Amino acid sequence: MSEVLVLVDHADGEVKKNTFELLTLARGLGEPSAVVVGAPGVAAKAREALAGHGAEKVYAAESDTADSRLITPSVDALALLVERAAPAAVLVGATITGKEVAGRLAVRTGSGVLVEVDGVDADGTATQAVFGGAYVVKSKVTTGVPVLSVRPGAVEAEAVAGAGVEESVEVPERDARLVTRITGSEPIVGGDRPELTDASVVVAGGRGVGSAESFSVVEQLADAFGAAVGASRAAVDSGYYPGQFQVGQTGKSVSPQLYIALGISGAIQHRAGMQTSKTIVAVNKDAEAPIFEIADFGVVGDLFSVAPQLTEEVTRRKS
């Protein structure tokens, strides 16, 4: 059985949820092999979690400079393994970084690339939402090794024991003048809430929230659910919430188990980033709002009346 390479998304060896989803998807295509790029020792930290979700191999592409070089170390490691292992496919998360890795790797290896994939059949046929989510299509790479960026949350992760055999990968050092160096980073400020693309529940607010101060109604409902907070582009452009929480075509793509949209009209740009959510609940005063076209449950009403009642009820049931 051919290997399927999975680029591990991690923070100092702590594996993120979307990697477990990729490993689950990889099992339907071949033998999952996790590729950990980072400083020495991170692969050992991640190995147990990766093996617990089906990774038969854990490739350790480690170096002292891996964390200070943007994108390039991941592309170098994957390109080397594509040549060495001739995998059936390469899977990366459809994050901002992951999509750039996918594009560069496809060019480097002369392969086809598919982005924002929601699922893949055993024969490699992928399902994608295109043109802002207006259509769902089936696509298949016919050149080289398929490189697929998979939308976080599109696949439900399943824990299955794998061997998790660790194997070192020597990635040659690049001339420092030819790569982008990371000189500093700041964590996303979100309190104790889960990361937006990893969350199983997302509560998002739109222009209908009215102001930055009023966004507390969104946060309170999110905290009652233990959810992440999102925002529409209109809300971000209006200064109601930071851009790092934007959901949509020019923001982050999410596919949680539950997506609650408060005061969001449902423009195609926003729908493109969340319409694959398993259950969508919308609250809007406008009964003709496009968001109701894709909502599983809709409430036509004032979000400032509906959301606090829901927060109270969720809190009561959890206590």
Could you tell me which residues are annotated as the binding site for FAD?
207, 232-233, 246-250, 263-270, 284
Instruction: Specify binding-site residues.
Output: 207, 232-233, 246-250, 263-270, 284
Q: Distance (Å, rounded) from C-alpha 91 to C-alpha 76? A: 15
- How would you write the chain as a 3-class SS string? CCEEEEECCEECCEECHHHHHHHHHHCCCCEEEEEEEECCCHHHHHHHHHHCECCCEEEEEECCCHHHECCHHHHHHHHHHHHHHCCCEEEEECCHHHHHHHHHHHHHHCCCEEEEEEEECCCCCEEEEECCCCEEEEECCCCCCCEEEECCCCCCCCCECCCCEEEECCCCCCCHHHCCECCCCCCCCCCCCCCCCCCCEEEEECHHHCCCHHHHHHHHHHHHHCCEEEECHHHHHCCCCCHHHEECCCCECCCCCEEEEECCCCCHHHHCCCCCCCEEEEEECCCCCHHHHCCCEEEECCHHHHHHHHHHHHHHHHC
